[in-house]
């Protein structure tokens, strides 16, 4: 979806990282190949998958699984504009 939105912006002369900021939730390799590269919120999909299996196993066993928050990190690339007097978003 992000790639399509960026393509439309490029077609219409909207400058990514200057006129508009883009941030996606997933760090796929294709996002690094865009121009500019896409800023993302990255997460460990392997850990997410393992946890999903663990939680499902608990539910199947009749248990109530605890809520879990997995860590994520912001990977700043060229699709976010710099903050005046500071660094990129």
Token pair belonging to 44:
């460990």
Cα gap 27→42, rounded to integer Å? 5
Q: What is the DSSP letter of 88?
A: B
Positive or negative torsion for Cα 58, 59, 62, 65? positive
Q: What is the mean pLDDT of the chain?
A: 88
pTM metric for this prediction:
0.70
**pLDDT over threshold 80, residue 87:** no
Q: How far is CA 36 from the centre of its chain?
A: 15
pLDDT in tens, 13-31: 998 888 888 899 888 888 8
């Amino acid at each position: 979806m992000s790639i399509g939105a960026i393509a439309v912006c490029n077609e219409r002369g909207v400058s990514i990282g200057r006129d508009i900021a883009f941030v996606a939730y997933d760090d796929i390799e294709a996002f690094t190949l865009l121009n500019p590269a896409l800023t993302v919120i990255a997460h460990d999909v392997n850990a997410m998958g393992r946890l999903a299996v663990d939680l499902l196993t608990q539910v199947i066993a009749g248990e109530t699984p605890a809520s879990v928050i997995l860590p994520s990190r912001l990977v700043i690339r060229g699709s976010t504009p710099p903050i005046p007097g500071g660094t990129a978003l």
